[in-house]
Amino acid sequence: MPEKRETNISPLVEMQMPNASLEEKLVAQEKLRAFLKALISLNRSVQSRKENDSHGRGDMGTKDDNTP
């Protein structure tokens, strides 16, 4: 028996895709969930990097010293 998929559609997906089929909405919701998980993971990584930066700088593309 196939695994039952969630049928609660988020209001955000419902607002963006009011005329889409249930299947299309479920696919969009799964993609949105995966995107948000990746975004949260990236944010945690950036925050961790900022906390571990010995100079306390969050701008990794600049240099304070005069090294070439």
Q: Model confidence over 16-66: pLDDT tens digits? A: 999 999 999 999 999 999 999 999 999 999 999 888 885 555 555 555 555
pLDDT category, 1, cuts 50, 70, 90? very low
Quote the number of domains for the chain. 1
User: According to the model, what pLDDT value does residue 51 have?
Assistant: 85
C-alpha 40/C-alpha 44 separation (Å) is 6
C-alpha 45/C-alpha 51 separation (Å) is 10
Kindly state whether residue 34 falls inside one of the protein's structural domains: yes
Q: Is 13 helix (H, G, I), strand (E, B) or coil?
A: helix
C-alpha 24/C-alpha 28 separation (Å) is 6
Kindly state whether residue 45 falls inside one of the protein's structural domains: yes
pTM of the model: 0.61
Range of the domain at 26: 21-50
Kindly state whether residue 25 falls inside one of the protein's structural domains: yes
